[in-house]
Amino acid sequence: MGNLFCSPSSQQVYSVAKAANNGGGVLLSFGNYAGDVLHFGEARERLIADGIPCEIVLVTDDVASAPLAEIDKRRGIAGDLTVFKAAAAAAEKGLSLDEVVQVAKEANRCTRSFGVAFEGCTLPGAADSLFHVPEGKMAIGLGIHGEPGISETDIPSADGLAEILVARLLEEVPDGIRVQGARVAPILNGLGTIKYEELFVIYRKVDELLQEAGLVIVEPDVGELVTSLDMAGVSLTLFWLDNDMEPLWTAAADAPGYRKGSVTPAQALDPAEVEVVIQDEIPEASDISRKLAFGVVEALEVLANTVNENCEMLGQIDAVAGDGDHGIGMQRGSRAALEAAREALDGGAGAETVLQWAGQRWSDEAGGTSGAIWRVILKAMGESLGNEKPLSVQRLAAGVVNARQQVMAFGKAEVGDKTLVDVLVPFADALSWEAEKGQGALACWESAARIASEAAEATKQLIPRVGRARPLAEKSVGTPDAGSVSLALIIQALIPVLKKCQAS
């Protein structure tokens, strides 16, 4: 079924966008989630470097995920549909990239969504759903990646639910819009288990309430449009229209996941035309670096085994306030990284190349925030180890410091945000400090590993300020950050590998 709930990798985004480019540039638009921001951002940089104009527009329609004053932190849910639809129609009209970007930004500004859930979704192969809602209750402010609601309330009648949805959205009308006489496109969206009969029962009251408020309804949509596997939930989106936006909403469309009106089918792209970048060039490496590369592969094997052994636990931690996929994402990424590292090693690669191949494959296969971050970590470590020199405590410490700097610059997280950075920073500082004192690599790592474990435990008391857990910040208090825990476990597990490398 693919990497459910994970962003596509930067390589996947880059390949598709490059194939789709017809000479006018590319617009990348997606819901505002950390992993997507990282992967799409990196793909954009690569496209621009290739001479392809590229812009990004984030969808931030979920009113439950952040206050209006922090609208840039809101996540994207069913409002993806309105932004994508308007931008696509504008592009079809022949507007320039800059003009399409402005349309997408305006569509996002004029879109608000609010949702509820009665039960969480179940990932394929999992024994239980990501979260449960107590009997007789419903969760308010759900996400579309299995995130639990922000609060809970008693289950109302269908009419009562319609009143809750409409009232919350009418509390926040976009600037410059007067409700009386305004034109609006309502979208009642089923998350997976709430089916059409129930949706239309709810929509009957939604329509009535919107008309009572003085609104003019334009081409409403009712159905399963932006889903979350089998989640029992529903969301309402209001797309506020003007004379420019309405024709873009009502324009005919024909895509695999959405149809409106009738259009002439487009010519399918030949898969052979899609460029796939394959890593097949292995730079020269010294004998001593190739020997170190064997140790790197062994370390990646230990890493993958550690993740595999703790996969379920990491997912459970992540599910408290996130989407519960950290364990399986790390598992998928670490396995792919190990496979790539072995391929590079078989080709005679040195330590740096092995780590670069591993990091890129991790990102490509895992997707998501962790996939992007671990690509950065492995790449940074490789840059410091190089393809010529032997392992030294100074290069090891420099690699971790380099990883810290690049991760913070790339992901924009800081200490205290309840992310992997809360372990990476104290670990890097401790390792550097021990290295400066003249300790050996093993002693330095062991000492810094204790600091890392303590830092991971300390994230229990932090409130997340970025990422998917941020809208559910209070729920995560008392539970450590999954990314911090996985990093600390990996650091600890690598001690025997360092001991072996030092002995040899």
Tens of pLDDT, residue by residue, the chain (504 residues): 456 667 888 989 999 999 999 999 999 999 998 889 999 999 999 999 999 999 999 999 999 998 999 999 999 999 999 999 999 999 999 999 999 999 999 999 999 999 999 998 887 777 788 788 899 999 998 777 777 778 899 999 999 999 999 999 999 999 999 999 999 999 999 999 999 999 999 999 999 999 999 999 999 999 999 988 888 999 999 999 999 999 999 999 998 889 998 776 666 666 655 555 555 689 999 999 999 999 999 999 999 999 999 999 998 898 886 667 789 899 999 999 999 999 999 999 999 999 999 999 999 888 788 899 999 999 999 999 999 999 899 999 999 999 999 999 988 889 999 999 999 999 999 999 999 988 889 999 999 999 999 999 999 988 877 655 555 556 678 899 999 999 999 999 999 998 887 666
Domain ranges of the chain: 1-59, 68-253, 287-503
Query: CA neighbours within 13 Å on the CB side: how many for 221?
Result: 25
Domain 287-503 has CATH 3.10.450.50: no
Cα dihedral 5, 7, 8, 10 in deg (nearest 10): -160
CB 186 within 8 A of CB 225: no
CB burial string 133-146: b at 16+ within 10 A, e below: beeeebbbbbbbbb
Tell me the pTM: 0.78
Report yes or no: 184 and 221 within 8 Å, Cβ to Cβ.
Answer: no
Tally Cβ neighbours within 10 Å of residue 91: 18
- 68-253: CATH class: alpha beta
Which letter, b or e, does each residue of 494-504 get, where b requires 16 or more Cβ atoms within 10 Å of its Cβ? beebbeebeee
- Is 145 one of the annotated active-site residues of the chain? yes
Out of 39, 132, 145, 326, which one is annotated catalytic?
Answer: 145
